[in-house]
Amino acid sequence: MSETLVASRTPGTDTPVPGASGASRFWRRLRARPSALVAAAVVALLVLVALAAPLLTAVEGQDPTTYHPSLIDSARGGVPLGSFGGIGADHWLGVEPQTGRDLFARLVYGARVSLGVALAATALQVVLGVAIGVGAALGNRWVDQLLSRATDIIVAMPLMVMSLALLAIVPESFPRTVLVTFVIGLIGWGNIAKIVRAQTLTLKGLDYVSAARLSGWGRWRIARRELLPGLAAPVITYAALLVPSNISVEAALSFLGVGVKPPTPSWGQMLTAADVWYQAAPQYLLLPAGALFLTVLALTVLGDGVRTALDPRAASRLRVGTGRRREAKAGETAHSESDKPHKEGNA
Amino acid sequence: MNGFGGFVLRRAVGTVITLLAISVIIYVVFYATPGNVAQITCGPRCSPEQVRQVTEQLRLDDPLYLRYWHFLVGILVGRDYSTGTSLEHCAAPCLGLSYQSDQQVLDIILTKLPVSLSLVLGAMVLWLVLGVGTGVLSAWRRGRISERVLTAVTLAGTATPVFVIGLVLMIVVCGEFQLLPFPQYVPFTDDPEQWAWNLLLPWFSLALIEAAAFARLTRASMLETLAEDHIRTFRAYGVGERAIIRRHALRGALAPVIALNANNVGSAVGGAVLTETLFGLPGIGQELVHAVKVVDLPVVVGMVLVIGFFVVLANAVADVLYAVADRRVVLA
């Protein structure tokens, strides 16, 4: 334990302290990475597009669900009329083959679904993960055993397969978007819980927490006032990586036809139908694929940037031969988990 | 109970307990749902008469723990299903009966398994070779342009969903340039050459993404190992950089890679579900998606169980391998 204390007091390698100074240092470090800045700008733009979807489609004068049979050539199997898949002043990105629905409208409304589901599911995962992780670390031996084994099992179960299976037993009438959010959120909390448990155990042994305990603070008050702030950095780091992963899972489920169902537009669902139309209307395939790629890439780069800004050791570890490595190693236990990218999302 | 043997034994016992816990959780989640379990099990198109039969066969009137016990007994020693007139025996490990296809779930899984194994094992070879190779290369070329390019490519790789890569590959290779026919599964035993050609694209689709994660991890792990004191000593003695990487650094760097490979079995299975659906390969993943769509509950539960068992076993094996590869690991 003394090693951890030494490491955390070494200038430049300390665990970020919450509060004003921590936040401003975080922003300074994040700004120092151009890639993270660009990614943050892209993410901000995407969020803006998602929020302003009704406004944007109103400007265009279209909506995502209206069929336009007059815009497709039913004699040729539903190919959009006009050049480049029906791109024009009325339909900025053309129309969907077979239905004639406006592609721009479906794309921007798809962003709402993607980001909405991913963010809500991440929030659920974080709440569950923190609650279970802290509970395991602070509970007695049996509580810890129970929660830790449950965490191990939930981590072992493949997220894709489990969410796929769970979608089978819920009646069709249940709103699909909410359902997908809950399924992803209820299954994907395992790694957060592991990280939080490890970090809480580390914090629990630190002097200031012992001091609080010795001065007669209750368990709950210590958890809220002394432990939770110390958990912020690893939780934010991991949550930032969960968002792109959740976006991929939602897209995958919708791609398989068990996630978000029509008429609600979703990028994954658009891709399912698109592959046979790639010659007649290539943008039908390229737009959702590109949007998905850009979103996940931007969020991943931003997540990496956030991690480096919150945990400089992650970056300095990769610099060969720095004298800091030894010290960094001592305090790394709680952070090493967050170095592993959450891989399920690329499934 | 010390030493390596004890460690393996403890892991084995722990694995068995985990497997049992998983079976309980899965059973409770799927068979203790509100709503008519018999109706869900039987499928949406079952008549009331069939539903009554299913209730009787699965003894759904029994309390939950008894029903789970029957289920467990079925897996361990087999059980009988009466279909009104005749008695059908379902031998161990009995995963139940699909009321929609009138087949035993285990038979369905066994007929689909070779396809999925072909896909995942072939892809695994590819992603390990590509991923570790790229990682070692970019650690070796650190700071140069080639490393920056590799890092960017692997980052893009981790950000691309498998079905996007697969879709693009399929359209470019099979559609636009017609270098390969659209994949169609040919059993290995029929024609190994056709088997490989047809699986080439699915292998690459699944492997490229996994490879990206391995490349990032191998690079980080290599850099860390290369910075250690004993490597510096080798350098001081004048050992060449290639020999250092090949003989000394790689071994130390591989332990986390093994761990990631086990952790990734789950994500690879998820990727396989998507790859199979995308390329129309008749494997477990495609069958699972189908079963979910038509709400064939016994098949869904059976497959989730089998996949869960595989993943847990893979993790346990990896733990042991990890300890073999890295002797610094504390056997706990």
The partner residues of B103 in beta bridges, in order of sequence, read B98
B206 to chain A: closest CA residue: A347
Asked if pLDDT for residue A17 goes beyond 50, the answer is: no
- pLDDT number for residue A117: 94
pLDDT tens-digit series, residues A295-344 = 999 998 898 888 888 865 554 444 433 333 333 343 333 344 334 444 44
Indicate the domain borders of chain B. Answer: 3-90, 108-329
Q: Is B270's Cβ below 8 Å from some Cβ in A?
A: yes
Between helix B105-140 and helix B145-158 the angle, nearest 10°, is 160
Q: What percent of chain B has pLDDT over 70?
A: 93
Q: Is A111's Cβ below 8 Å from some Cβ in B?
A: no
- pLDDT number for residue A328: 38
Question: For residues B221 and B252, what is the distance between their CA atoms, to the nearest angstrom?
Answer: 8
- Alpha-carbon distance values, A17 to A233, A311, B55, B116 (Å): 9, 11, 59, 48
pLDDT tens-digit series, residues B85-140 = 667 777 778 888 887 777 888 999 999 999 998 999 999 999 989 988 888 888 88
Mean pLDDT of B33-50: 72
Of the pLDDT bands very low, low, confident and very high (cuts 50, 70, 90), residue B161 is: confident
pLDDT tens-digit series, residues A57-76 = 887 777 787 777 777 777 77
pLDDT tens-digit series, residues B52-90 = 877 777 777 778 888 888 888 888 888 777 665 667 777
Contact B160 A296 (CB under 8 A): yes
H or E element at residue A19: none
Q: Looking at this predicted complex, what is its ipTM?
A: 0.83
Of the pLDDT bands very low, low, confident and very high (cuts 50, 70, 90), residue A4 is: very low
More confident site: A33 or B127:
B127
B277 to chain A: closest CA residue: A256
Would you state the structure tokens that stand for residue A121, as one six-digit string?
């599911």
Q: Is A169's Cβ below 8 Å from some Cβ in B?
A: yes
Judging contacts by C-beta atoms under 8 Å, the chain A residues touching residue B166 are none
B227 → closest Cβ in A149, A279, A320: A320
On average, the pLDDT of chain B sits at 82
On average, the pLDDT of chain A sits at 78
The alpha carbon of residue A125 is apart from the nearest alpha carbon of chain B, in Å, by 18
**A residues 132-161 closer than 8 Å to B (CB):** 149, 152-153, 156-161
B301 to chain A: closest CA residue: A165
Mean pLDDT of A132-154: 88
Q: Is B210's Cβ below 8 Å from some Cβ in A?
A: yes
Which residue out of A33, A146, A151, A169 would a mutagenesis test of the B interface target, given it has the greatest number of B Cβ atoms within 10 Å? A169
Judging contacts by C-beta atoms under 8 Å, the chain B residues touching residue A255 are 161, 163, 274, 277
A343 → closest Cβ in B223, B264, B293: B264
- pLDDT number for residue B2: 61
Question: For residues A142 and B261, what is the distance between their CA atoms, to the nearest angstrom?
Answer: 31
Q: Is B171's Cβ below 8 Å from some Cβ in A?
A: yes
More confident site: B293 or A318:
B293
Would you state the structure tokens that stand for residue A196, as one six-digit string?
């939080």
Q: Is A45's Cβ below 8 Å from some Cβ in B?
A: no
More confident site: B247 or B131:
B131
B269 to chain A: closest CA residue: A158
Q: Is B35's Cβ below 8 Å from some Cβ in A?
A: yes
Pick from B107, B131, B285: nearest CA to B221 = B131
- pLDDT number for residue A9: 39
The alpha carbon of residue A60 is apart from the nearest alpha carbon of chain B, in Å, by 28
CATH topology classification for B108-329? MetI-like fold (1.10.3720)
pLDDT tens-digit series, residues B179-208 = 877 888 888 888 888 888 888 899 999 998
Contact A301 B293 (CB under 8 A): no
Judging contacts by C-beta atoms under 8 Å, the chain B residues touching residue A167 are 292
Q: What is the DSSP string of A270-334?
A: HHHHHGGGTTT-HHHHHHHHHHHHHHHHHHHHHHHHHHHHH-HHHHHHHSTT-TTHHHHHHT-HH
Question: For residues B249 and B227, what is the distance between their CA atoms, to the nearest angstrom?
Answer: 10
Rg for chain B, CA atoms, rounded? 24
Which residue out of B33, B127, B148, B163 would a mutagenesis test of the A interface target, given it has the greatest number of A Cβ atoms within 10 Å? B163
Q: Is B158's Cβ below 8 Å from some Cβ in A?
A: yes
pLDDT tens-digit series, residues A172-213 = 778 888 989 999 999 889 889 999 998 888 888 888 888 888
Contact B270 A292 (CB under 8 A): no
Contact B213 A271 (CB under 8 A): no
Question: For residues A167 and A5, what is the distance between their CA atoms, to the nearest angstrom?
Answer: 47
A252 → closest Cβ in B163, B266, B292: B163
Question: For residues B80 and B73, what is the distance between their CA atoms, to the nearest angstrom?
Answer: 11
The alpha carbon of residue A166 is apart from the nearest alpha carbon of chain B, in Å, by 8
Of the pLDDT bands very low, low, confident and very high (cuts 50, 70, 90), residue B313 is: confident
- pLDDT number for residue B326: 62
